[in-house]
C-alpha cells in the first residue's frame, strides 16, 4: 500500500477516509495535544481581552449630550434646551424668557419650512481635552425628507457638557 510522509508522521490512504485524521492523531498523539493547547490559549486570550472595563469615549458623550439638548427642543421643553447653554454668570429672567421665545420661534420656522424636525441623530463628535471643548455633528431629518448636518459647539464645565 502506498503512503505519504508528512512532517509529523506517515499517512496511509485508508486512514484519510476515516475521520480525515491519521490513527496517531485520533488516539491523542502530538497533533491533537498541540491543538488542544492552542485552542485553550486562544479561548483564554479572548476571555482576558474581552473582559476589560469599558470606558465611555469622551467624544461619544459630547455627541449624546448635544442630542439630548436638541431632543428637549423637539419635545417642547424649551426651558431645558435654554438651560443646556453655557453661561458663566446667571442671567436676568427677562433675558431667559427671550431665549425660550427664540427656541419656540426656531421650531415654528422649521415646522413651516420643512414640516418639522422628525429625527435627530449623532453623526460624529470631536473633542479637545486640553481646552475642554468639543463639537457634536448632528443630523436633522425633516418631515419633507430633507436632511441637514448641524455642528453644535460644546464646552465642559464642572464635569458637565453644555452648548456654547
Whole-number mean pLDDT of the chain?
81
The neighbour count for residue 152, using CB atoms within 10 Å, is 21
**Residue-range domains of the chain with CATH:** 4-50 (no CATH), 58-163 (3.10.450.50)
Q: pLDDT tens digit string along 125-142?
A: 999 989 999 999 999 999
Quickly tell me which residue has 493547547 as its cell. Answer: 37
The neighbour count for residue 99, using CB atoms within 10 Å, is 17
In this prediction, what percent of the chain has a pLDDT beyond 70? Answer: 66
Give the DSSP H/E element, type plus range, for residue 143: none
Q: Quick one: 61 exposed, middle or buried, by C-beta within 10 A (0-12, 13-18, 19+)? A: middle
Can you give the pLDDT at residue 107?
95
Residues 6+ apart with CB under 8 A from 50: none
Per DSSP, the residues of 42-107 read HHHHHHHHHTSPP---HHHHHHHHHHHHHHHHHTT-HHHHHHTB--SS---HHHHHHHHHHHHHHH
Can you give the pLDDT at residue 61?
93
Q: pLDDT tens digit string along 60-80?
A: 999 999 999 999 999 999 999
In this prediction, what percent of the chain has a pLDDT beyond 90? Answer: 59
Quickly tell me which residue has 510522509 as its cell. Answer: 5
Can you give the pLDDT at residue 66?
96
Dig out the grid coordinates for 158 from the structure.
464642572
Q: pLDDT tens digit string along 92-109?
A: 999 999 999 999 999 999
Mean pLDDT along residues 144-157: 95
Q: How confident is the model at residue 89 (pLDDT cuts 50, 70, 90)?
A: confident
The neighbour count for residue 14, using CB atoms within 10 Å, is 10
Q: pLDDT tens digit string along 31-55?
A: 556 666 766 666 666 666 665 544 4
Amino acid at each position: 500500500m502506498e503512503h505519504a510522509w508528512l512532517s509529523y508522521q506517515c499517512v496511509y490512504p485508508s486512514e484519510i477516509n476515516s475521520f480525515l485524521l491519521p490513527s496517531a492523531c485520533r488516539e491523542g498523539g502530538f497533533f491533537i495535544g498541540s491543538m488542544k493547547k492552542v485552542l485553550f490559549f486562544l479561548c483564554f486570550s479572548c476571555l482576558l481581552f474581552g473582559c476589560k472595563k469599558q470606558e465611555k469615549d469622551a467624544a461619544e458623550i459630547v455627541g449624546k449630550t448635544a442630542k439630548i439638548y436638541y431632543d428637549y427642543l423637539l419635545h417642547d421643553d424649551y426651558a431645558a434646551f435654554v438651560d443646556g447653554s453655557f453661561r458663566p454668570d446667571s442671567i436676568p429672567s427677562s433675558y431667559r424668557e427671550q431665549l425660550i421665545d427664540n427656541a419656540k420661534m426656531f421650531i415654528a420656522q422649521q415646522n413651516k419650512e420643512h414640516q418639522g424636525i422628525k429625527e435627530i441623530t449623532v453623526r460624529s463628535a470631536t473633542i479637545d481635552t486640553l481646552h475642554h471643548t468639543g463639537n457634536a455633528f448632528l443630523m436633522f431629518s425633516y418631515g419633507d425628507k430633507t436632511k441637514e448636518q448641524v455642528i453644535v459647539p460644546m464646552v465642559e464645565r464642572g464635569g458637565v457638557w453644555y452648548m456654547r
